Amino acid sequence: MLKRRTFLLGGADAVGALLVGWSVMPPGQQLTTSTPLPLAEGQVALNGWVKIAADNSVTIMMCKAEMGQGVHTGFAMLLADKLDADWSRVRVESSPVDRIYNSAQSIVDDPSFRPDDEGTMKRTAVWFTRKLMREGGTVATFDASVAQSMPGFIKAFAVAPYNGGTGGVAVIASNAFRAMNTVNAIKVEWNHGDAAQLSSAHVIDQLCLALNDRDGHAYYRQGDVDAALNRAARTVSAEYHAPYLAHGAVEPVNCTVQFDDGAATVWAATQVPALTRHHVAKVLNIDADKVDLQQQLLGGAFGRRLELDFISQAAMIACEGSGRPMQTIWSRAQDFTHDFIGRPACRT
């Protein structure tokens, strides 16, 4: 009996490609990647979107970030339905960096970290101190003398701002807990920059003044509102304020980078993997094809993973890691304080 998988493989050889994924690509793009997909033993790539193995397992290459919206499950279900495949044998892999995906991601085909001979993970935690840091400010001086005597301390150094974020002082320690302890022992003096006198109350006041002094832009008009208000026996007015709001990612931002022998491996959750690879390469002064991005699940980011500040920061810190993986972690308080905050608003 001719199996469906056998027919599809034969059809791919005969006509050049199975039209899976064609409808989601711009016209003129091809189905195949510029470099062959990595294949396990017994696997065949029908194109850049689907791999089928001799054990009847089916793998879909996913070019969208999974952040709880169910895109991994949904795409896999569509593929299983069209191929009449066994749902229990459908797998999802992050797609590689290639133009056919209109996105750029790396396939995760290895463990995030390889154990050493003693079975422990060779990675070093980094924690940030950013106390009183303001937008546009820089580190003036810092004193790490107390932190240097604490268990697990390795080094501390100033970090410049990247990609619209803020800088600070990084601490490298033997694990996250020790990094958290030592960072709190560092005394930092800041150059606060032009935003030192800025406050939320001042911004809201300016927005409310603008409502009274300027005519807004009307996207749609029907009738004469001013005339209707003038004829009204009674009018009611109200003013609504929306404050600055952080994304409030469920998982505080973090990124691990290993930089060794002119190449980098990045373990990060990001919605912009192509830009991630580009900016890491820029920070490390290497070519983008020397950056291997291992895409992770987003952990409920609500748009925070569109930003690159913490990833570029992690890449810079990895330069101090002597070739070891450096796991950069922000505390939840730091994430809220130094997020790309949503704009405030004033409406009447």
**Residues 121-134 pLDDT 10s:** 334 555 444 343 44
Residue 10, pLDDT > 80, answer no
Q: What is the pTM of this model?
A: 0.75
Q: What is the largest CA-CA distance in the chain?
A: 85
Tokens representing 299 are: 């952990």
Structurally, how many domains does the chain consist of? 2
325 and 196 within one domain: yes
Q: DSSP alpha helices (H): ranges in the chain?
A: 4-15, 71-83, 145-148, 176-183, 200-213, 225-231, 273-284, 309-318, 332-337
263 and 123 within one domain: yes
The predicted model gives 326-334 an average pLDDT of 89
58 close to 91: Cβ distance less than 8 angstroms: yes
Please state the φ and ψ torsions of residue 264, each to the nearest 5 degrees: -130, 145
128 and 63 within one domain: no
200 and 153 within one domain: yes
119 and 85 within one domain: no
pLDDT of 126: 55
The predicted model gives 197-224 an average pLDDT of 83
Could you tell me the pLDDT band of residue 141, with boundaries at 50, 70 and 90?
Answer: very high
99 and 145 within one domain: no
pLDDT of 255: 94
pLDDT of 64: 83
Q: What is the pLDDT of residues 75-114, one digit of tens each?
A: 899 989 988 999 999 999 988 878 888 643 333 333 333 3
123 and 95 within one domain: no
**What is the distance of C-alpha 117 from the center of its chain?**
32
Which of 69, 103, 137 represents a domain boundary (last residue)? Answer: 103
Range of the domain at 75: 4-103
116 and 84 within one domain: no
Which of 72, 103, 134 represents a domain boundary (last residue)? Answer: 103
291 and 196 within one domain: yes
Which of 73, 103, 133 represents a domain boundary (last residue)? Answer: 103
128 and 36 within one domain: no
203 and 158 within one domain: yes
CATH number at residue 250: 3.30.365.10
245 and 269 within one domain: yes
DSSP β-ladder status, 240-242 and 345-347: antiparallel
